Amino acid sequence: MAMVDAEAIVKELRETYASGKTKNYEWRVSQLKALLKIAEHHEKEIVDALNSDLSKPELECFVHEISMMKTSCKHALKQLKRWMKPEKVKTSLTTFPSSAEIVPEPFGVVLVISAWNYPFLLSLDPVIGAIAAGNAVVLKPSEIAPATSSVLAKLLGEYMDVTAIRVVEGAVPETTALLEQKWDKIFYTGNGKVGRIVMAAAAKHLTPVVLELGGKSPVIVDSNINLKVAVRRIIAGKWGCNNGQACISPDYIITTKENAPKLLDAMKLELEKFYGKDPLKSGDLSRIVNANHFHRLSKLLDDNKVVDKVVHGGQRDENNLKIAPTILLDVPEDSLIMKEEIFGPLLPILTVNKVEESIQFINAREKPLAAYLFTGDKKLEEEFVRNISAGGLLINDTTLHIATSTLPFGGVGESGMGSYHGRFSFEAFSHKKAVLRRSFGGDVPARYPPYTPEKVRFLKALLNGDILGLIRALLGW
């Protein structure tokens, strides 16, 4: 894709946006319904693409990608009228008599750059928000999931209004060409390194950004809990989410030294139940997305600081890009695996003397996208919620907060900025425009020169809310 293409696409979308078409309620509904049709009529095609890109199990394809996208679409359709309605707000004595409202308006022409790990959901979920808010959109799917990228380009080309909604496929040169254009908002899902590139490009045009990044999401495991349920939920959030290739996947566990052996035994037992004695043969685990990521994860495992810390798993099959669920115990804090987001099937367990120490440990690092706590202790739970800064917190489970449309989903600090899901998606792509209305009555002479001492006294009393002073000023006392 040559430079001029990006320019031409943006120009065409700007013309469509200028025509006012995308602001129309009926247009927004028609496009959201078209997205729903894509998910409903092409499920097999989407599952096949996800399978080709990631060997993602069909259940995960449906539950985590197709179904979540459909739920998000239906929610937007149901709530759209309410979201679009101007919000009446109170006015003050200063502007009396007057009325005021907040009018949501679309930003204009927006760019969505999505990720490879949930290539269907993470492409279309932000697009749902952008359309609901009335924008024209360019979607740039990830080239690392080429089959899904090509299905998205084909289906959106067939079902959507291509004068306002376009898919641009390609790799770094295409993304770079897109980032050189002026957008009204950019929504990026991915890693912090590229996040910085996106933000720097956006800064040239003062374009606002939403950055959905990742980070090392910790899991604190207390000892007074139903260990079996906790372990199953940790496994579901780690290996049951694309084999650990998920932004909110548990990245490491912290537990007490005395609790670690029990936790480890329970994990080994449940892992074998879920994935069998030879997990590399299991059809229920996604493969590693490509050779680069396979080597990156292998490097973390082969680091001489952790080579002897593997207590479960560790099997690899380079030809099929498979890595078994792997647990490491007591890895050093300065090992590679503790320095970067793992984004794969490796799970270190760190031990502390007292469970409370885990809060200081987490706070000494960059803010994660999610933080998890398993406990029966209300006091610890309150301390966790009060003291841990993360995109989102979840008590006694993992990853499920992402499926709650009334909660904003997004990061803080290194894990990103801005949030979406449900109403928050509509707000991410809307500008809140302030509107104040006055009539020609109620004109206060004290506003205008010459500024006499009487006028000063009157305005001081008015703005200080001094009723007695106001009466005296009005009576000329």
Distance CA 432, CA 85 (A): 11
Amino acid at 450: P
Long-range contact set of residues 418-421: C-beta below 8 Å, sequence gap at least 24: 418/187, 418/209, 418/210, 418/211, 418/212, 419/210, 419/391, 420/125, 420/126, 420/129, 420/187, 420/210, 420/212, 421/72, 421/125
Give catalytic status of residue 26 as yes or no: no
The encoded tokens of residue 141 equal 């799917």
Angle between helix axes 146-159 and 121-132 (nearest 10 degrees) is 30
User: Which residue is listed with tokens 């004290």?
Assistant: 446
- CA torsion 400→401→406→411, rounded to 10°? -140
- CA torsion 224→229→233→239, rounded to 10°? 110
Strand 185-189 vs strand 326-329: parallel, antiparallel, or unpaired?
unpaired
If you ran DSSP here, which 8-state letter would residue 398 be given?
Answer: S
The active-site residue, picked from 60, 61, 73, 212, is 212
* Distance between first and last Cα of the chain: 77
DSSP assignments along 77-129, one per residue: HHHHHHHHSPEEE---GGG-SEEEEEEEEE-SEEEEE--SSSTTHHHHHHHHH
Give catalytic status of residue 212 as yes or no: yes
List, in order, residues 6 or more apart from 23 with CB less than 8 Å away.
Answer: 105, 106, 134
Neighbours of 453 (CB within 10 A): 7
The active-site residue, picked from 61, 73, 241, 247, is 247
Q: Find, among 234, 232, 236, 218, the residue nearest to 369 by Cα.
A: 218
Active-site residue numbers?
Answer: 212, 247
